Amino acid sequence: MKRIGLFCKTVKSPETLEFIRFVIGILKQYGCEVIVDIDTANLLNTYGEAKTSIPSVSDVIIVLGGDGTLLSAARAIGDKEIPIVGINLGSLGFLTEINKDGVREIIDMIIHNKARFEKRMMLNAVVHRDGKDIEAFSVLNDVVFNKGALARIIDMQTYVNNSYLTTFRGDGLIVSTPTGSTAYSLSAGGPILYPTLENILITPICPHTLTNRPIVLPPDVVVTVTLKSESQDVFLTLDGQVGFALKKDDSVNITSARFKTVLITPQNRDFFDILRTKLRWGER
């Protein structure tokens, strides 16, 4: 693994730029070819690639940023299944779980093929309008139906494998992967799923009917959500980063993707330790 792509969050401080230089220096000590995105390359006075092109020329991708940066990298990689490792320059960091102090150790593991690989389920979402598929997306975390600030409660008619589930009425609906269970779904009262499970999780957002509760489904189902409200202020949000405006009677088919996101994790990594640390379990 000698061609290493760097996905960097937008550089806003000299400290971040200096850390990027530090990581590049370590990689070059191992004889790696380093590919950086154009924006970061301009700051480094070197050649760069478009972020969407980096997966095509990389054996491994190192994400320098927060979970949002890693999510965008996962979508850019798509079906290529190129391994990703996240170095946390943000705050919470469920996905970018390695801190700055651990960067040299994880790079050494990658170079010497000692790192652990963990496959994470992804979702495909296809928007259907007027008898045609008009947009398709892949996500690592979640597909979210949400209303704008001024929109009323929205109605989302939901089927699982063509069997009617219910019509959710509320502020929105989250359809997530196990990886996404610790993101927006958790804030909406959804359960935490072990990240390597393969399940589809449906979590209503502020449901009008208080008995509506999250439901965990097997990975081989098709979840179909149809917007039944007249409101023009309803959006489909993908991984919290990409938005798409929905119209009345638009349907979204959500399925497990045939490809996975491959994360590189330290050998001593413990998911339950991450939960205790990030969610501060056990503190008083």
> Which residues have a catalytic role annotated?
67
Q: What is the DSSP letter of 168?
A: E
Q: How many whole angstroms separate alpha carbon 98 and alpha carbon 262?
A: 16
Q: How many whole angstroms separate alpha carbon 85 and alpha carbon 65?
A: 11
Q: 132 exposed, middle or buried (CB, 10 Å; 0-12, 13-18, 19+)?
A: exposed
Which strand (E) or helix (H) includes residue 105?
Answer: helix 103-111
Which strand (E) or helix (H) includes residue 243?
Answer: strand 242-246
Q: Tokens 């398709």, residue?
A: 136
φ/ψ region of 78 (left if φ > 0, alpha if ψ in -120 to 50, else beta) reads left
The closest alpha carbon to 73, from 4, 16, 22, 8, belongs to: 8
Q: How many whole angstroms separate alpha carbon 173 and alpha carbon 212?
A: 11
**Strand spans (E) along 9-83:** 33-36, 60-65
- Given a contact cutoff of 8 angstroms between Cβ atoms, the answer to whether 30 and 4 are in contact is no
How do beta strands 116-129 and 251-265 pair? antiparallel
CA dihedral (102, 33, 47, 26) in degrees, to 10, reads 30
